[in-house]
Structure 1
Amino acid sequence: MSEYTNRRPVSLLDVAKAAGVSRATASLVLRESPLVADGTRQRVVETMKNLGYIYNRGAANLRRNSTGTIGLVLSNIGSPFYSTLMAGVDETNEAGSIVTLVANSVDSPDRQIRQIRRLREHNVDGIILCPAIGSDETLAAELARLDLPCVQALRHAELLGGDYVGADYRSGIEKAVRHLVGSGRRRIVFVGATTLHSAARERNEGFRHAIRMHGLNDGLVVAGAPDNAYDVAALDRLLKARNPPDAAVCYNDVIALDVMNRLRSHGRQPGQDFAVIGMDNLPQAAGAFPALTTIATHPREVGQQAAALLQKRIAQLGPSKGEHIIVPPSLIVRRSCGEASVAA
């Protein structure tokens, strides 16, 4: 049996003695207190590493009545858009020494509730939630029963109320239509229209409002569905019509990239005789041919803001009633509209 098998765990008092400080000072270093001089802090930290000291965070959390963890429940963790949101949440949580536990609802209300219950079983201090399609009173009742601080992100279920952080989808679509009209486009189709959740409805509202503002025909809409699907046959009919559209605003970049391929199959050239705009500014957008004009909705910033708001709620700071933080979008103009890259 090796000497390490019988060795007792290194205590904070051991660290303090080896570093030549009091136990209270070593404890202040663990808590990242500004009261400790930089030289002393560095000496204590180095001593902890050398002795192999392991901080018992679980015991500390029990004393503070918190676990230093939050749950992040998303509808599709495989999407690069949601991955960017996760990165934003993690950046803010890391700065606060908070661990993020991620769950995937796959847009199933039943699975969403199961995931929230499991996160509660792990004693998370709160959750950031992108509500699944079809979320209803059952979700609201469960959150109330669990007494769990919750910030909605990207989508919001009105029945939940409370805090929300998201992009301004409506104004983003309006910016896109304004740009197309300004460049001479008059027959603009919205591809991927759906009303399945709040983010979709706000896109639809933005398009219809912009079309009316500019006095255009508001009937050019191609329906969408989950998983980036849209009515391809309906788009084909419009492209073959006597007076076909000359531009498309798409629900997201994935649909926009598919629409550009569809245009080529009809002998139309995106960026030349047909303008295409997507939404979300995925990495694939800039690398497309032609490079895709898109509405950047800044999911990383949404994630950062949502995590910061949840931390505030957990700490019970500020007003307790629902706070809405809306991140303004940017229109990034690229060759799919016939112009060189600019941001607006």
Structure 2
Amino acid sequence: MNPRPTLVDIANATGVSKATVSLVLRNSPTIPKRTHERVLEAAKNLGYVYNRGAAGLRSTESRLIAMAVNDLINPYFAEIVAAMEDALTEQNRIVLMSNTAESVARQSAFVSAVREYNVAGLLVVPAMGTDAAFVDLLRSWRLPCVMVSRSVPGAEVDLVQANHRVGMIEATRHLIELGHRRIGMIGLNENISTGRERFEGYRQALFNAGIALEPRLVLSGPATRDTGMAHVLALLDLPEPPTAVVCFNDVVAFGAMLGLRSRELTPGQDFSVIGFDDIAEATLWRPALTTVAVARQTVGRTAAQLLLRRIEAFDAPVETVLLPTELVIRDTTGAPPARHPRRRGLV
């Protein structure tokens, strides 16, 4: 078997020094174009493969960016991740990624592992339960980090997210302006900052309208279709059911719509539903879902840009970027019915 070609082999084939070959392979702008092309052609002909890992040991500069994401299956986070990776690729960065599946242990193991690869920075959609100690550890490593979409209580770290609280205020206020007075909230998860902030918005909108919060109209659970369906059915079975719900996200709202259909109720006519996030599927449902739009592309690209700035200036002041949301009114909201049926034809 032929030995693996080396920098010396390329240098001998091109008549340049080993140092020049190394600079070409690292894409240094100091090498003339003709020499650059000649060295790359020789490397290709010899079958040389650049050992990026070994090069990383020789240099403190790295093109690698680590990305730890709580739930890649969720289309909301998948779109944010795609935007972050696109923005980083445009800057000649390579992404190492982990789907942490809401596991703090898995998140910590991934971060410890990628540190060994000399990553330049870290983007994190933090797993549920992430605390400030995790961020403090990253800071002690001097590893640049940006939190995305979710905040970590007490952590001094860059953050990019939508203004979840204001978005939910607008959603709840829309229902109030339509005439609804009994409005539920379903799919709530107060174990994450997003859930707490959206719940705060719901409460604030009710307070502003002089409507008392009814705890039994607020149901907590995983952000799934099953949860949305179960929660809306539970609310419909109350002695005095609500006439509308705001949902933690669009996926929960889809489940709520399925639950209404199972009772022969039409979303937007017999019962109003609002989602949150405005994922692509929201426009495809019939009726189309009224929801709060989050500019996921902007969240992702802003997070990537903020991380690159942090890499250049590690000790700069911490930044928090709150991006605006937009209420998108479609067909699942309307005035409350004169009489609220639990099932069509029944009262």
Matched position secondary structure for 1:206: helix
Task: Structure 2 unaligned segments of length 5 or more: list them.
Answer: 336-347
Distance 1:240 1:114, change over 3 A: same
How far residue 117 of structure 1 moved from its aligned partner, in angstroms, is 0.5
CA deviation string 1:54-93 (max 9, x = no partner): 6665566556512211111111122222211111111111
Matched position secondary structure for 2:286: coil
Matched position secondary structure for 1:337: coil
Using the alignment, how far apart are the partners of 1:183 and 1:46 within structure 2? 71
Q: Residues 185 and 247 of structure 2 are in contact (CA less than 8 Å); yes or no, is this contact kept in structure 1?
A: yes
CA deviation string 1:205-254 (max 9, x = no partner): 00000111122242163322235364866543432345432221100111
Matched position secondary structure for 1:279: strand
Deviates more, 1:183-192 or 1:207-216: 183-192
Out of 263, 279, 285, the position equivalent to 1:288 is: 285
Q: Residues 223 and 252 of structure 2 are in contact (CA less than 8 Å); yes or no, is this contact kept in structure 1?
A: no
Deviates more, 1:216-225 or 1:115-124: 216-225
Aligned to 1:342: none
Residue 336 (str. 1) matches residue 332 (str. 2)? yes
Q: Residues 12 and 27 of structure 1 are in contact (CA less than 8 Å); yes or no, is this contact kept in structure 2?
A: no
Matched position secondary structure for 1:336: coil
Using the alignment, how far apart are the partners of 2:274 and 2:103 within structure 1? 30
CA deviation string 1:169-213 (max 9, x = no partner): 111111112222233333221111221111110000000001111
Residue 190 (str. 1) matches residue 185 (str. 2)? yes
Out of 268, 271, 275, the position equivalent to 2:268 is: 271
Equivalent AA in structure 2 for residue 79 of structure 1 = N
Aligned to 1:221: 217
Distance 1:78 1:235, change over 3 A: closer
Distance 1:334 1:31, change over 3 A: farther
CA deviation string 1:258-277 (max 9, x = no partner): 00111122232102122211
Aligned to 1:91: 86
How far residue 146 of structure 1 moved from its aligned partner, in angstroms, is 3.0
Q: Residues 16 and 44 of structure 1 are in contact (CA less than 8 Å); yes or no, is this contact kept in structure 2?
A: no
Matched position secondary structure for 1:182: helix
**Following superposition of structure 1 onto structure 2, how do residues 118-197 of structure 1 map, counting pairs within 5 Å?**
118-136=113-131, 138-197=133-192
Out of 249, 253, 257, the position equivalent to 2:250 is: 253
Q: Residues 135 and 157 of structure 2 are in contact (CA less than 8 Å); yes or no, is this contact kept in structure 1?
A: no
Distance 1:83 1:238, change over 3 A: closer
Equivalent AA in structure 2 for residue 80 of structure 1 = P
Residue 110 (str. 1) matches residue 105 (str. 2)? yes
Aligned to 1:79: 74
Distance 1:336 1:13, change over 3 A: farther
Using the alignment, how far apart are the partners of 2:25 and 2:198 within structure 1? 50
- Identical aligned residues as a percent: 32
Task: Structure 1 unaligned segments of length 5 or more: list them.
Answer: 18-22, 340-344
Equivalent AA in structure 1 for residue 83 of structure 2 = G
Using the alignment, how far apart are the partners of 2:139 and 2:26 within structure 1? 38
How far residue 161 of structure 1 moved from its aligned partner, in angstroms, is 1.7
Q: Residues 191 and 223 of structure 1 are in contact (CA less than 8 Å); yes or no, is this contact kept in structure 2?
A: yes
Equivalent AA in structure 1 for residue 113 of structure 2 = R
Aligned to 2:206: 211
Using the alignment, how far apart are the partners of 2:146 and 2:183 within structure 1? 36
Out of 292, 307, 310, the position equivalent to 2:307 is: 310
Q: Residues 239 and 245 of structure 1 are in contact (CA less than 8 Å); yes or no, is this contact kept in structure 2?
A: yes
Q: Residues 14 and 42 of structure 2 are in contact (CA less than 8 Å); yes or no, is this contact kept in structure 1?
A: no
How many residue pairs are counted as aligned between the two chains? 325
Equivalent AA in structure 1 for residue 87 of structure 2 = T
Q: Residues 72 and 129 of structure 1 are in contact (CA less than 8 Å); yes or no, is this contact kept in structure 2?
A: yes
How far residue 307 of structure 1 moved from its aligned partner, in angstroms, is 1.2
Residue 325 (str. 1) matches residue 321 (str. 2)? yes
Distance 1:239 1:32, change over 3 A: farther
Q: Residues 222 and 235 of structure 1 are in contact (CA less than 8 Å); yes or no, is this contact kept in structure 2?
A: no
Q: Residues 71 and 100 of structure 1 are in contact (CA less than 8 Å); yes or no, is this contact kept in structure 2?
A: yes
How far residue 13 of structure 1 moved from its aligned partner, in angstroms, is 9.4
Distance 1:150 1:11, change over 3 A: same
CA deviation string 1:155-178 (max 9, x = no partner): 111232211111111111111122
Once superposed, what is the RMSD of the aligned Cα atoms?
3.3
Taking structure 2 as the reference length, the TM-score comes to: 0.81
Equivalent AA in structure 2 for residue 315 of structure 1 = E
Distance 1:45 1:294, change over 3 A: farther
Using the alignment, how far apart are the partners of 1:231 and 1:80 within structure 2? 17
Equivalent AA in structure 1 for residue 66 of structure 2 = G
